[in-house]
Amino acid sequence: MEIQSLIKNMPFSQAVDMASLIDYQEGRVVSRTLAQRLDLSMTLFAFDKGEGISSHSAAGDALVYIIDGTAEITIGEEKIKASAGEVVVMPANIPHALDAIERFKMFLVVVKPQIR
- In the chain (116 residues long), the average pLDDT of successive 10-residue segments reads 71 92 97 93 97 95 98 98 98 97 97 79
Is residue 5, in this structure, part of any structural domain at all? no
d(CA 24, CA 30): 7
Nearest alpha carbon to residue 109 among 14, 15, 18: 18
pLDDT of residue 114: 75
Is residue 14, in this structure, part of any structural domain at all? no
Looking at the structure of the chain, the number of domains it has is 1
d(CA 114, CA 116): 6
Is residue 9, in this structure, part of any structural domain at all? no
Which spans in 39-114 are helix H? none
Whole-prediction pTM? 0.91
pLDDT of residue 4: 61
d(CA 43, CA 108): 5
Is residue 16, in this structure, part of any structural domain at all? no
Is residue 46, in this structure, part of any structural domain at all? yes
pLDDT of residue 33: 96
Domain range for 94 = 27-111
pLDDT of residue 6: 82
pLDDT of residue 1: 47
Is residue 49, in this structure, part of any structural domain at all? yes
Q: What is the CATH number of the domain that holds 52?
A: 2.60.120.10
Is residue 6, in this structure, part of any structural domain at all? no
CA atoms lying within 13 Å on the CB side of residue 14:
6
